[in-house]
Amino acid sequence: MTKWAAAYILLLTSVSCSVFSQTIRLVSPLDNGVGRLEVYYNGIWGTVCDDSFGADEAKVVCRQLGRYESGVTPRAIQTFGFGGGQIWLDDVSCSGSESSLASCSHNSWGVNNCGHSEDVGIICDPSDITMKLTPSYKKGLLQVSHSGVWGTVCDDLFGEVEASVVCRALGYQRGRVIDESNSTKMWLDDVQCTLQNTDLKDCKHRPWGTDDCSGSEAVGVECSSFPEEIAAARLSSNANTQGEGVLELYYGGRWGRVHSTGFGVEEATVACRMLGYNTDAALASLTFNLGNETLFDKVQCVGTELTLNECLHYPWNTGTAWMVIRVQCPSAHLQIRLNSTTSGRGRVEVLHNNVWGTVCRGSSFSSQEAQVVCKMANLPWTTASVTTSYGQGEGLIWLSNVNCLGTETSLDECSHSGWGTAPRCSHSSDVGVICGGDTVSIHLEPPGSVLNVLLGQPLSVKCVVDYSNSPVTSFRWTHSGRSDSGQTFSRTMILKSDSGNLTCNVGNARASTRFNVWCKCPTTRSH
């Protein structure tokens, strides 16, 4: 199988519409308003069961996504069936006039009697569909629309890539050819596609209606997709080199290494994106496995996918291999949050591989590491203390044995045992941090320790609040022994003697600059 014949694009279409903190999306290989419906609840994306889900419910979904137009009848695809993880909603019932799915009646979140074979899919505008399979949406005779007439396609040269172009447009990941026959008018013959194509009409083919085929050569297609089974990724390195190491994926409760012939720049780009790094100049190479178990094989990407789940892969298998994949990623900033009901303190959680996870306190996490956390969270940190009193987190423990100097700006600049490597940690050791000190931090704009202004021209300086533990309503300026109020100091300089220091005071914080008044005065020239 050639690389271009095996690679897949799966763009994760996420049109964020937050209503009562709920967000929905259509997961699909293409951004064409067709895909598996997912809802975001309690920090997790999950699917929706197709029980009772019909045209009214589909209309609400498409309206919430901004894809509904009057006169169009959206359609729910029953038993779309290829999601994974949580099934959030079942027995959804809408009138069709609601502005969001959260406004419709449904079972309690997570309460269902469904399997993922019943995950519902949505077609927002059926009139845009130019290819279809009959009698089933996902399997059957392939028909294409041309000049308002449906016709068949000849199986000459028609293979997995062409079948997958069809299935991607229908919301699935891949397709295969099956035997069919039909005497309906044949529209296309000698179709040859790449996976960059989004419709058969964009592929190379004979002129419409020109063929040398019989009805028994009409092609059929069966579509399928894989559950999104990889929960996380990490790079394993004995040297703990940032953004570089052997690629490992978390599946079935354990980590495994990747062996894949043809794993190159495109796959490395997706792996780095999945890990939260920049993707420019991502590289992949082979390295000796040294006896570790491998779980994954035959991963092939185009390079635009969000995660390796979305690339072409066969069902994940266990095995062994002498050589595995090593990836190098450019650096990127790590995201962090303090999880609690009180601002400025909470359980430390970091976002890695698009998954929030906790940090193990261990013996090394002290005030120096806490200072780095407070910097990352843009909080005051003249005092930064460590605690485990903010409770146990859930899911992955991302970091352990974190050791910082205190001068770093991000935890991933500190030494640690590696992403997802915390063998002696449990969630009872999840670390919390309390950031304290000055209640407000400010700076002046424009910046600079010295400002120059021409005589007779206005001077305008703004006092900007970086952070504050309470709303700031009072700004006090001092200049040449005089006081002013307001967030912006504005004055026209009429005397050179107006030069001097300007200070903004907010609570116990202050910021100062000096300005000089300059005069373009005529000079007397000697003759």
Concatenating the DSSP letter of every residue in 415-431 gives B-S-TT--TT--GGGB-
Residue 229 belongs to a domain: no
**Which SS3 state, helix, strand or coil, does residue 213 take?**
coil
Q: Where are the alpha helices (DSSP H) in 338-469?
A: 367-376
Provide the residue range defining the domain that includes 267: 236-328
Indicate if 134 and 118 belong to the same structural domain: no
Residue 26 domain flag: yes
What pairs with residue 257 in β-bridges?
248, 294
The token duo for 367 is 């005030």
The answer to whether residues 12 and 114 belong to one domain is yes
Q: Are residues 420 and 502 in the same domain?
A: no
What pLDDT does 443 receive?
81
d(CA 156, CA 410): 57
Question: Per residue of the chain (527 residues), what is the pLDDT tens digit?
Answer: 333 333 333 333 333 333 333 478 888 877 788 999 999 887 788 899 999 899 999 999 999 888 888 788 999 998 787 777 789 999 999 999 998 898 899 999 999 999 888 999 999 988 888 999 999 899 999 999 999 899 999 999 999 889 989 998 998 888 899 989 888 899 999 999 887 788 999 999 999 999 999 989 999 999 988 766 666 788 887 766 678 888 988 877 778 888 776 788 888 988 887 887 767 778 899 888 876 666 666 677 777 777 787 776 656 666 667 788 899 887 656 778 888 877 788 899 998 766 788 999 888 898 889 988 988 887 766 678 888 888 888 878 889 999 998 877 788 788 888 888 777 888 889 999 988 765 677 788 887 667 777 788 888 888 988 766 667 788 888 887 788 888 999 888 788 778 888 889 887 678 888 888 877 555 444 44
Same domain, yes or no: 28 and 119: yes
Last residue of a domain, one of 417, 436, 455: 436
Q: What are the two backbone dihedrals, phi and then psi, of residue 150, each rounded to the nearest 5 degrees?
A: -85, 135
Q: How far is CA 518 from CA 10, 457, 459, 461, 488, in A?
A: 61, 10, 12, 17, 22
Strands (E) in 225-344, as ranges, are 232-236, 244-251, 254-259, 283-288, 294-297, 323-328, 335-339
Residue 210 and residue 167 in one domain: yes
Q: How far apart are CA 207 and CA 190, in angstroms?
A: 10
The amino acid that residue 84 corresponds to is: G
CB atoms within 10 A of CB 182: 18
Side chain identity, residue 38: E
Residue 230 domain flag: no
Q: How many domains does the chain have?
A: 5
- The pTM of the full predicted model, rounded to 2 decimals, is 0.52
Residue 526 lies in a domain: no
> Could you give the 3-state DSSP secondary structure of residue 460?
strand
Query: Which amino acid, 328?
Result: Q
Question: Are 113 and 9 in a shared domain?
Answer: yes
- Distance, CA of 7 to chain centre: 21
pLDDT at 36: 92
Q: Residue 117, Cβ neighbours under 10 Å: how many?
A: 11
pLDDT reported for residue 292: 67
Sign, CA torsion 187/192/195/201: negative
CATH number at residue 41: 3.10.250.10
Q: 3-state DSSP: the chain helix, strand, coil percent, rounded to 5?
A: 15, 40, 50
Asked which of 280, 298, 328 is the last residue of a domain, the reply is: 328
- Looking at the fold, whether 383 and 477 belong to one and the same domain comes out as no
Strand-strand pairing, 75-77 and 121-123:
antiparallel
- Please provide the distance, in angstroms rounded to a whole number, between the alpha carbons at the two ends of the chain: 90
Residue 18: what pLDDT? 36
Select from 99, 126, 153 the last residue of a domain: 126
146 and 240 fall within a common domain: no
277 and 316 both lie in a single domain: yes
